[in-house]
Amino acid sequence: MRIESLTQLTSTRLREFLREPEAVFWTFVFPLLLAGGLAIAFREKPADQAIIATIAAPAGDSLASAIGRELATVAAAKDAPIATREIPADSINDVLRAGTAALVVVPQAGGGVEYRYDAARPEARIARQLVDDLLQRARGRQDVVPVKEVTIRERGSRYIDFFVPGLLAMNIMGSSIWSLAFAIVTQRNKKVLKRLAATPMSRMEYLLSFVLFRLIFLVLEIAIMLAFGSWVLDVPIRGSIITLVLVALVGAASFGAIGLLLSSRTKTVEGISGLANFVMLPMWIFSGVFFSATNFPAAIQPVIQALPLTALVNGMRAIMLQGAGLGTVWPQLAVLGAYLVVSLLVALRIFRWQ
Amino acid sequence: MTALPLPTSSPPLALEVIGLKKSYGDVVAVNGLDLRVHAGQCFGLLGPNGAGKTTTIEICEGLNTPDSGTVRVLGHTWNEHPTALREKLGVQLQETQLAEKLTVLETLKLFRSFYRAGRNIDDVIDLVQLGEKKSARVGGLSGGQKQRLALACALVGDPELLFLDEPTTGLDPQSRRQLWTLVEGLKAEGRTIVLTTHYMDEAERLCDNIAIVDQGRVISLGTPRQLIASLGAEHVIRLNTADEHQLHPIPLAELLALDDVRGGAETETGYELRVGSVQKVLPSLLSLAESRQVTWSELSTHSATLEDVFVALTGRHLREG
């Protein structure tokens, strides 16, 4: 091992990366744009207003026409989370199909109402309940049980809090696999690898330079994402930052080794794109990045839990949201470590230099 | 890494190849090839594309493994101390692609870092005349400049033995001559050079010894002069007739029967005759044509070259592959 050539190889990686503006964009700016989009979607805002459509009452039926006015007045007065608007009678189905109103209230002759809504949509069922309560109370119904409501807002229970650790883990997987696999396959395809193999360069140093390069950028990537998540999205980091970074590093090394394995014989960029997607796609779905992995049947849980992304997602989520320490996340670390060792050994064995 | 023990035999052969064979599936690339290259020589492998030159040279470079046969490089086989051996070799691959985003200087620093001992980078840059392009990105270099950078990469380790695989293929004439001057300089430094080429002028100018390779074997071996002398002819006369419908109006045997004609063949456009002396043959050739009322649209003569040797040996031109 010679420091000189390892330094040269690693700075070559850095130079090649930094001189590729697109690569820099996709690595740093894209995840931030994604998180920014999420921040807008999950911003603090008043509870959703249900849109209620009413139909103009039949001409001359005063009781019926009173319903619409009454509904609007009551809703405004009680500060109910609904907004009403009047639509023509022949557009009821269009409105419901397009989902531009959750509920359509059709006044009936003699003062009754008909509710039209899609019972499969939860917000439609809620809107129906709300509107019905308002109308019934306005007409004098009395609630007989005294009710007191206490609502809480727990930090870390929002979807965005669930999603950010998953996004971070997914980002680590993607950038680790892609950056290694693409660079190596391109170098093999252009016969750069062959040229290097004709020098006394240490094979191990060559592979190590990719790992070092990844680690330098990983620290930056994690720092940016965590800072953004913490300050802009107010996602809690309850566990220790050091444990979190440790898990992220082991995860990155593990996915780097998987990237190395995937690229150990592939000759074309098209080939490695297919192979890498083939390996990553199941993990995007099954590893619980977007929704909890426990939604899948129990029969396939052992397989899901053995996926490296599941281990990384669960580990990071436990540390960030539940404040877990090493004592809790060691099984996840063990899974990642196993992938690291096995992939690296196999890759070194089957790696082709041309 | 172990230090390379000195080779026992002396005077050493820089490269020895015995009975080399290599097939890819059904295709036989190298079919029992032998080579002996002495230290300090510039040795050329001359042959058409697909003759097995690159496969041979890559086996010698340790980048490919033979099916059978022995290769000794600087007295060692590739099974002994491959890394120590690589310290002493300089390699230019047929199409060396270097990282486009790096500069000339960065590329050479990278390659220099792989060798324990080697040359000063600035000296090498001056040697290959890339001083002005030192800070330029590799992607922006011309073909000739890229090729000289590839040569520089092969030189930074101060190699004893240099392998150059088609160093001037695809270059313009000026860049080729520039590269030839460089290689001649390296020869003068006493380095052993093994190069492949399908340009006979390149082989004639640069090589002390040449092996003509065809279909995976050495079909002729010697110095450029020896090979040309083996034709038994000093000059070659090319003849084309004016009549497109009758390209070969005189039977070849009659032409070959002329005094001092040593050999020849019908070509696609006429005849090619190998002769001892042009002065002796021309008068009889012209009078024969006159008696048959044949008009030559084109008549050219040139001193015999390696190309003519190749044609005489295989019946094909080098460029035809």
CB contact under 8 A, A191 and B97: yes
Please, which pLDDT band fits residue B155 given cuts at 50, 70 and 90?
very high
Q: In what order do the strands lie in the sheet with A103-107?
A: A82-87, A50-55, A103-107, A113-116
CB contact under 8 A, A8 and B109: yes
CA distance linking residue B161 with residue B91, whole number of Å: 9
Q: What is the ipTM of this complex?
A: 0.81
Mean of the per-residue pLDDT values of chain A:
85
Can you tell me the mean pLDDT for A210-238? 85
Residue B28 β-bridge partners:
B23
Residue B178 in this model has a pLDDT that exceeds 50: yes
- φ/ψ (deg, to 5) at A200: -75, 10
Q: What is the DSSP letter of B52?
A: S
For B33, the 3-state DSSP assignment is strand
- According to CATH, the superfamily of the domain at A50-138 is Periplasmic binding protein-like II (3.40.190.10)
Residue A47 in this model has a pLDDT that exceeds 50: yes
* Min Cα separation A29/chain B (Å): 22
Can you tell me the mean pLDDT for B148-162? 94
- According to CATH, the superfamily of the domain at B13-227 is P-loop containing nucleotide triphosphate hydrolases (3.40.50.300)
CA distance linking residue B200 with residue B305, whole number of Å: 7
Residue B315 in this model has a pLDDT that exceeds 80: no
Structural tokens at position B25: 């599936």
CB contact under 8 A, B157 and A199: yes
Within 8 A of B160 by CB-CB distance, chain A residues are none
Residue B44 β-bridge partners:
B195, B210
CB contact under 8 A, B91 and A20: no
Residue B55 β-bridge partners:
none
Give yes or no for a contact between A247 and A312, defined as CB atoms under 8 angstroms apart.
yes
Give the pLDDT score at B321: 43
CA distance linking residue A239 with residue B89, whole number of Å: 55
Question: Parallel, antiparallel, or unpaired for β B235-241 and B296-303?
Answer: antiparallel
> Which of A12, A196, A199 is closest, CB to CB, to B102?
A12
Give the pLDDT score at A1: 52
The per-residue DSSP string of B227-293 comes to HHHTTT-SEEEEEEES-TT-S--S-HHHHHTSTTEEEEEE-SSEEEEEES-HHHHHHHHHHHHHHTT
CB contact under 8 A, B63 and A201: no
Question: Parallel, antiparallel, or unpaired for β B42-46 and B68-73?
Answer: unpaired
Single-letter amino acid, residue B163? F
Domain with CATH 3.30.70 in chain B: 232-303
The string of pLDDT tens digits covering residues A232-270 is 888 888 999 999 999 999 999 999 999 999 999 999 999
CA distance linking residue A25 with residue A29, whole number of Å: 5
Query: For chains A and B, what is the number of CB pairs under 8 angstroms?
Result: 65
CA distance linking residue B65 with residue B71, whole number of Å: 10
Q: At what angle do helices A326-350 and A241-262 cross, to 10 degrees?
A: 20
Instruction: Name the more confident of A138 and B285.
Output: B285
Q: Which fold has domain B232-303?
A: Alpha-Beta Plaits (3.30.70)
Domain with CATH 3.40.50.300 in chain B: 13-227
Domain with CATH 3.40.190.10 in chain A: 50-138
The string of pLDDT tens digits covering residues B182-216 is 999 999 988 999 999 888 888 889 999 999 999 99
Q: Max Cα separation, chain A?
A: 98
Which residues lie below 8 Å from residue B229, measured CB to CB, with a gap of 6+?
none
For A107, the 3-state DSSP assignment is strand
Give the pLDDT score at B289: 87
> End-to-end CA distance of chain A, in Å?
23
Task: Determine contact: B121 vs chain A, CB below 8 A.
Answer: no
Q: How far is CA A68 from CA A51, A65, A83, A86, in A?
A: 14, 6, 12, 8
Single-letter amino acid, residue B38? H
Please, which pLDDT band fits residue A65 given cuts at 50, 70 and 90?
low
